[in-house]
Amino acid sequence: MLFGALEAGGTKMVMAVGEENGKILEQKTIPTTTPEETMPQIVEYFKEKIEEKGIVALGVGAFGPVDVVKGSPTYGHILNTPKLAWKKYNLVGTLEKELGIPVGLDTDVNGSCLGEMTYGCAKGLDTVVYITIGTGIGAGIAVGGRLLHGMLHPEAGHILIAKNSHDPGKSVCPYHDSCFEGLASGPSIEARWGKKAVELVDKTIVWELESEYVAKGLVNMILTLSPQKIILGGGVMHQEQLFPMIRSKVMAMLNDYYTTRELCDMDSYIVPASLQDNQGIMGAVRLAQLAYEKME
Protein backbone atom coordinates (compact mmCIF):
# COMPACT_ATOMS: atom_id res chain seq x y z
CA MET A 1 0.00 0.00 0.00
CA LEU A 2 1.27 3.48 -0.85
CA PHE A 3 0.81 6.74 1.01
CA GLY A 4 1.20 10.42 0.21
CA ALA A 5 3.31 12.61 2.47
CA LEU A 6 3.55 16.39 2.69
CA GLU A 7 6.05 18.29 4.76
CA ALA A 8 4.54 21.76 4.74
CA GLY A 9 7.28 24.21 5.70
CA GLY A 10 7.38 27.98 5.79
CA THR A 11 9.89 28.12 2.93
CA LYS A 12 9.30 24.88 1.04
CA MET A 13 6.80 22.12 0.53
CA VAL A 14 8.14 18.58 0.24
CA MET A 15 5.72 16.14 -1.38
CA ALA A 16 6.38 12.43 -1.52
CA VAL A 17 5.04 8.94 -2.05
CA GLY A 18 6.10 6.35 0.50
CA GLU A 19 5.63 2.74 1.47
CA GLU A 20 4.35 1.46 4.78
CA ASN A 21 7.93 0.71 5.84
CA GLY A 22 8.78 4.41 5.42
CA LYS A 23 10.68 3.98 2.17
CA ILE A 24 10.30 7.12 0.04
CA LEU A 25 9.74 6.15 -3.60
CA GLU A 26 9.65 9.61 -5.10
CA GLN A 27 9.59 13.19 -3.92
CA LYS A 28 9.30 16.73 -5.21
CA THR A 29 9.97 20.07 -3.55
CA ILE A 30 8.33 23.38 -4.40
CA PRO A 31 8.70 26.79 -2.73
CA THR A 32 6.04 27.94 -0.28
CA THR A 33 4.63 31.22 -1.54
CA THR A 34 0.90 31.94 -1.17
CA PRO A 35 -1.92 29.41 -0.80
CA GLU A 36 -3.33 30.57 -4.16
CA GLU A 37 -0.09 29.69 -5.89
CA THR A 38 1.23 26.76 -3.83
CA MET A 39 -1.90 24.72 -3.07
CA PRO A 40 -2.93 23.97 -6.68
CA GLN A 41 0.54 22.51 -7.28
CA ILE A 42 0.24 20.29 -4.22
CA VAL A 43 -3.26 19.18 -5.20
CA GLU A 44 -2.14 18.43 -8.73
CA TYR A 45 0.83 16.34 -7.52
CA PHE A 46 -1.24 14.18 -5.19
CA LYS A 47 -4.20 13.84 -7.61
CA GLU A 48 -1.74 12.38 -10.09
CA LYS A 49 -0.36 10.01 -7.42
CA ILE A 50 -3.88 8.86 -6.52
CA GLU A 51 -4.55 8.02 -10.18
CA GLU A 52 -1.13 6.62 -11.09
CA LYS A 53 0.03 4.99 -7.86
CA GLY A 54 -3.19 4.51 -5.94
CA ILE A 55 -2.08 6.31 -2.78
CA VAL A 56 -4.81 5.76 -0.18
CA ALA A 57 -4.21 8.57 2.32
CA LEU A 58 -2.11 11.68 2.86
CA GLY A 59 -0.09 12.62 5.94
CA VAL A 60 0.83 16.24 6.61
CA GLY A 61 3.50 17.60 8.92
CA ALA A 62 2.83 21.34 8.97
CA PHE A 63 4.55 24.50 10.14
CA GLY A 64 2.67 26.13 12.93
CA PRO A 65 1.02 27.19 14.89
CA VAL A 66 -1.56 24.86 13.38
CA ASP A 67 -4.76 23.53 14.90
CA VAL A 68 -4.18 19.80 15.46
CA VAL A 69 -7.02 19.37 17.97
CA LYS A 70 -9.59 16.97 16.52
CA GLY A 71 -13.13 18.33 16.88
CA SER A 72 -12.01 21.96 17.11
CA PRO A 73 -13.93 24.27 14.71
CA THR A 74 -10.62 25.33 13.17
CA TYR A 75 -9.05 21.86 13.03
CA GLY A 76 -6.50 21.69 10.22
CA HIS A 77 -6.20 25.46 9.87
CA ILE A 78 -2.91 27.32 10.05
CA LEU A 79 -3.30 29.77 12.94
CA ASN A 80 -1.46 32.94 13.91
CA THR A 81 1.56 32.56 11.62
CA PRO A 82 3.98 35.33 10.65
CA LYS A 83 3.47 34.00 7.08
CA LEU A 84 0.41 36.21 6.73
CA ALA A 85 -0.88 34.75 3.45
CA TRP A 86 -1.39 31.44 5.29
CA LYS A 87 -3.02 32.83 8.42
CA LYS A 88 -6.31 31.01 9.09
CA TYR A 89 -5.82 28.91 5.95
CA ASN A 90 -7.78 25.64 6.01
CA LEU A 91 -4.97 23.33 4.95
CA VAL A 92 -6.52 19.96 5.81
CA GLY A 93 -10.03 20.92 4.69
CA THR A 94 -8.74 21.97 1.27
CA LEU A 95 -6.70 18.79 0.82
CA GLU A 96 -9.55 16.52 1.94
CA LYS A 97 -12.05 18.26 -0.34
CA GLU A 98 -9.77 18.28 -3.39
CA LEU A 99 -8.29 14.79 -3.00
CA GLY A 100 -11.10 12.79 -1.43
CA ILE A 101 -8.74 10.62 0.65
CA PRO A 102 -8.15 10.67 4.43
CA VAL A 103 -5.67 13.31 5.57
CA GLY A 104 -3.66 12.93 8.77
CA LEU A 105 -2.14 16.02 10.37
CA ASP A 106 0.42 16.98 12.96
CA THR A 107 3.07 19.62 13.41
CA ASP A 108 6.25 19.25 11.36
CA VAL A 109 8.27 18.50 14.49
CA ASN A 110 5.75 16.02 15.92
CA GLY A 111 5.91 14.40 12.47
CA SER A 112 9.70 14.14 12.70
CA CYS A 113 9.41 12.71 16.21
CA LEU A 114 6.97 10.11 14.89
CA GLY A 115 9.31 9.35 11.96
CA GLU A 116 12.17 8.62 14.36
CA MET A 117 9.90 6.55 16.64
CA THR A 118 8.56 4.48 13.75
CA TYR A 119 11.55 4.06 11.47
CA GLY A 120 14.57 5.53 13.20
CA CYS A 121 16.63 5.70 16.37
CA ALA A 122 13.67 5.95 18.75
CA LYS A 123 11.97 2.71 17.68
CA GLY A 124 10.41 0.93 20.67
CA LEU A 125 10.45 4.02 22.93
CA ASP A 126 7.30 5.81 24.06
CA THR A 127 8.48 9.12 25.52
CA VAL A 128 10.70 10.99 23.12
CA VAL A 129 11.66 14.58 22.33
CA TYR A 130 12.70 15.64 18.83
CA ILE A 131 14.13 19.13 18.51
CA THR A 132 14.98 20.94 15.31
CA ILE A 133 17.50 23.77 15.50
CA GLY A 134 17.40 25.59 12.20
CA THR A 135 15.75 28.81 11.07
CA GLY A 136 13.61 28.38 14.16
CA ILE A 137 13.60 25.95 17.05
CA GLY A 138 10.74 23.52 17.45
CA ALA A 139 10.12 20.45 19.53
CA GLY A 140 8.06 17.38 18.70
CA ILE A 141 7.11 15.48 21.81
CA ALA A 142 5.65 12.02 22.36
CA VAL A 143 4.56 10.99 25.83
CA GLY A 144 3.45 7.45 26.58
CA GLY A 145 3.41 6.61 22.85
CA ARG A 146 1.21 9.54 21.82
CA LEU A 147 2.27 12.76 20.15
CA LEU A 148 1.56 15.54 22.60
CA HIS A 149 -1.22 18.02 21.75
CA GLY A 150 -3.13 19.20 24.82
CA MET A 151 -4.69 22.62 24.30
CA LEU A 152 -2.94 22.93 20.90
CA HIS A 153 0.59 21.58 20.62
CA PRO A 154 3.83 22.28 22.46
CA GLU A 155 5.84 25.33 21.40
CA ALA A 156 8.94 24.34 23.31
CA GLY A 157 11.19 26.30 20.95
CA HIS A 158 10.10 29.33 22.95
CA ILE A 159 10.75 28.10 26.47
CA LEU A 160 12.51 30.80 28.45
CA ILE A 161 16.14 30.17 29.23
CA ALA A 162 18.66 32.37 31.05
CA LYS A 163 20.86 34.52 28.84
CA ASN A 164 24.60 34.21 29.42
CA SER A 165 25.84 37.54 30.84
CA HIS A 166 28.78 37.51 28.39
CA ASP A 167 26.58 36.95 25.35
CA PRO A 168 27.35 39.84 22.95
CA GLY A 169 24.07 39.30 21.09
CA LYS A 170 20.41 39.63 21.85
CA SER A 171 17.36 37.48 21.34
CA VAL A 172 16.12 37.44 17.75
CA CYS A 173 12.64 36.31 18.84
CA PRO A 174 10.16 39.17 18.37
CA TYR A 175 8.11 37.84 21.30
CA HIS A 176 10.70 36.98 23.98
CA ASP A 177 13.89 38.60 25.28
CA SER A 178 15.38 35.35 26.42
CA CYS A 179 13.90 32.27 24.77
CA PHE A 180 15.51 29.14 23.29
CA GLU A 181 14.79 30.09 19.66
CA GLY A 182 15.72 33.73 20.23
CA LEU A 183 19.14 32.78 21.58
CA ALA A 184 20.08 29.54 19.80
CA SER A 185 18.46 29.35 16.33
CA GLY A 186 20.54 29.68 13.16
CA PRO A 187 19.49 33.33 12.63
CA SER A 188 20.45 34.18 16.23
CA ILE A 189 23.96 32.80 15.65
CA GLU A 190 24.21 34.86 12.48
CA ALA A 191 22.91 38.04 14.17
CA ARG A 192 25.27 37.65 17.14
CA TRP A 193 28.49 36.95 15.21
CA GLY A 194 27.76 38.65 11.88
CA LYS A 195 28.33 35.51 9.82
CA LYS A 196 26.36 32.40 8.93
CA ALA A 197 26.80 29.50 11.36
CA VAL A 198 28.48 27.41 8.70
CA GLU A 199 31.21 30.07 8.31
CA LEU A 200 32.00 30.00 12.03
CA VAL A 201 33.02 26.37 12.32
CA ASP A 202 36.48 27.09 13.79
CA LYS A 203 35.30 29.69 16.34
CA THR A 204 35.20 27.83 19.66
CA ILE A 205 33.33 30.59 21.47
CA VAL A 206 30.43 30.31 19.03
CA TRP A 207 29.88 26.64 19.80
CA GLU A 208 30.55 27.01 23.53
CA LEU A 209 27.70 29.49 23.78
CA GLU A 210 25.45 27.57 21.39
CA SER A 211 25.92 24.32 23.30
CA GLU A 212 25.24 26.11 26.59
CA TYR A 213 21.89 27.37 25.32
CA VAL A 214 20.95 24.03 23.78
CA ALA A 215 21.89 22.27 27.03
CA LYS A 216 19.72 24.69 29.02
CA GLY A 217 16.78 23.97 26.74
CA LEU A 218 17.34 20.23 26.98
CA VAL A 219 17.68 20.18 30.76
CA ASN A 220 14.29 21.88 31.09
CA MET A 221 12.74 19.26 28.83
CA ILE A 222 14.49 16.38 30.60
CA LEU A 223 13.24 17.57 33.98
CA THR A 224 9.71 18.23 32.72
CA LEU A 225 9.04 15.30 30.40
CA SER A 226 11.51 12.62 31.45
CA PRO A 227 12.12 11.55 27.85
CA GLN A 228 13.86 8.26 27.12
CA LYS A 229 15.76 9.86 24.26
CA ILE A 230 16.35 13.32 22.81
CA ILE A 231 16.96 13.65 19.07
CA LEU A 232 18.47 16.82 17.65
CA GLY A 233 17.94 17.71 13.99
CA GLY A 234 17.94 20.83 11.80
CA GLY A 235 20.66 22.73 9.97
CA VAL A 236 22.60 23.97 13.01
CA MET A 237 22.91 20.44 14.40
CA HIS A 238 24.89 19.46 11.32
CA GLN A 239 27.74 20.90 13.39
CA GLU A 240 28.56 17.57 14.95
CA GLN A 241 31.08 19.03 17.37
CA LEU A 242 28.07 20.33 19.28
CA PHE A 243 26.98 16.89 20.45
CA PRO A 244 29.77 16.11 22.95
CA MET A 245 29.64 19.71 24.20
CA ILE A 246 25.88 19.57 24.73
CA ARG A 247 26.09 16.18 26.46
CA SER A 248 28.71 17.27 28.96
CA LYS A 249 26.93 20.57 29.71
CA VAL A 250 23.63 18.75 30.27
CA MET A 251 25.37 16.43 32.75
CA ALA A 252 26.99 19.39 34.51
CA MET A 253 23.68 21.29 34.71
CA LEU A 254 21.79 18.26 36.05
CA ASN A 255 24.59 18.05 38.61
CA ASP A 256 23.85 14.47 39.67
CA TYR A 257 20.39 15.53 40.76
CA TYR A 258 19.15 12.22 39.49
CA THR A 259 20.62 9.24 37.74
CA THR A 260 18.93 6.95 35.28
CA ARG A 261 20.17 4.22 32.98
CA GLU A 262 19.62 6.55 30.03
CA LEU A 263 21.55 9.45 31.57
CA CYS A 264 24.46 7.11 32.25
CA ASP A 265 24.75 6.53 28.51
CA MET A 266 24.70 10.09 27.18
CA ASP A 267 26.03 9.11 23.74
CA SER A 268 22.81 7.19 23.08
CA TYR A 269 20.60 9.61 25.02
CA ILE A 270 21.22 12.86 23.14
CA VAL A 271 21.62 11.88 19.51
CA PRO A 272 21.53 13.27 15.97
CA ALA A 273 18.52 12.57 13.76
CA SER A 274 19.01 9.16 12.20
CA LEU A 275 17.10 9.25 8.92
CA GLN A 276 19.30 11.44 6.67
CA ASP A 277 17.04 14.46 7.12
CA ASN A 278 14.06 12.37 5.95
CA GLN A 279 12.53 12.07 9.43
CA GLY A 280 9.89 14.70 8.62
CA ILE A 281 8.67 13.24 5.36
CA MET A 282 8.84 9.67 6.71
CA GLY A 283 6.83 10.76 9.74
CA ALA A 284 4.25 12.18 7.32
CA VAL A 285 4.04 8.74 5.65
CA ARG A 286 3.24 7.28 9.07
CA LEU A 287 0.64 10.02 9.71
CA ALA A 288 -1.03 8.99 6.44
CA GLN A 289 -1.02 5.37 7.51
CA LEU A 290 -2.59 6.23 10.87
CA ALA A 291 -5.29 8.33 9.14
CA TYR A 292 -6.03 5.41 6.81
CA GLU A 293 -6.26 2.89 9.65
CA LYS A 294 -8.61 5.16 11.55
CA MET A 295 -10.93 5.32 8.54
CA GLU A 296 -11.10 1.55 8.01
> Which positions lie near Zn ion, rule CB under 5 A?
158, 173, 175-176, 179, 181-182
Closer Cβ to Zn ion, 179 or 288, answer by number:
179
| Residue 175 binds which entry of ligand ADP, Zn ion, none, CB below 5-8 Å type-dependent | Zn ion
Identify residues 153-172 at the interface with ligand ADP (CB under 6 A).
none
Of 55, 66, 54, 59, which Cα lies nearest the Cα of 90?
Answer: 66
Please report whether residue 13 would count as binding ligand ADP according to CB under 6 A.
no
The secondary structure of 232-275, three-state, reads EECHHHHCCCHHHHHHHHHHHHHCCCCCCCCCCCHHHHEEECCC
The nearest distance, CB 236 to ligand ADP, in angstroms, is 4
Q: For residues 291 and 102, is the Cβ–Cβ distance under 8 A?
A: yes
Instruction: Identify the residue among 218, 236, 242, 245 touching ligand ADP (CB under 6 A).
Output: 236
Closer Cβ to ligand ADP, 93 or 235, answer by number:
235
Please report whether residue 64 would count as binding ligand ADP according to CB under 6 A.
no
**Closest residue to ligand ADP, Cβ-based?**
186
With contacts defined by CB under 6 A, name the span among 41-49, 96-104, 192-200, 263-271 that binds ligand ADP: 192-200
With contacts defined by CB under 6 A, name the span among 40-48, 84-92, 130-138, 265-273 that binds ligand ADP: 130-138
| Residue 179 binds which entry of Zn ion, ligand ADP, none, CB below 5-8 Å type-dependent | Zn ion
Taking the CA atoms of 116, 118, 119 and 120 in sequence, report the sign of the dihedral they define: positive
Of 117, 142, 138, which Cα lies nearest the Cα of 129?
Answer: 142
Taking the CA atoms of 86, 90, 94 and 95 in sequence, report the sign of the dihedral they define: positive
Query: E strands, the chain, where?
Result: 2-8, 12-19, 24-31, 58-62, 103-107, 128-133, 137-143, 146-147, 229-233, 270-272
Instruction: Identify the residue among 85, 134, 254, 262 touching ligand ADP (CB under 6 A).
Output: 134
Please report whether residue 239 would count as binding ligand ADP according to CB under 6 A.
yes
Residue 40: phi, psi to the nearest 5?
Answer: -60, -35
Closer Cβ to ligand ADP, 101 or 231, answer by number:
231
Closer Cβ to Zn ion, 120 or 182, answer by number:
182
Instruction: Identify the residue among 35, 186, 217, 283 touching ligand ADP (CB under 6 A).
Output: 186
Task: Please report which helix (H) or strand (E) contains residue 216, including its range.
Answer: helix 204-225
Q: For residues 10 and 34, is the Cβ–Cβ distance under 8 A?
A: no
How far is Cα 43 from Cα 186, in angstroms, rounded to an integer? 32
Q: How far is CA 252 from the centre of its chain?
A: 27
Instruction: Identify the residue among 90, 94, 135, 220 touching ligand ADP (CB under 6 A).
Output: 135
Contact pattern from residue 247 through residue 286 relative to ligand ADP, giving x for each residue in contact according to CB under 6 A and a dash for the rest: ----------------------------------------
Closer Cβ to ligand ADP, 183 or 197, answer by number:
197
Residues making contact with ligand ADP (CB under 6 A): 9, 11, 134-136, 186-187, 196-198, 234-236, 238-239
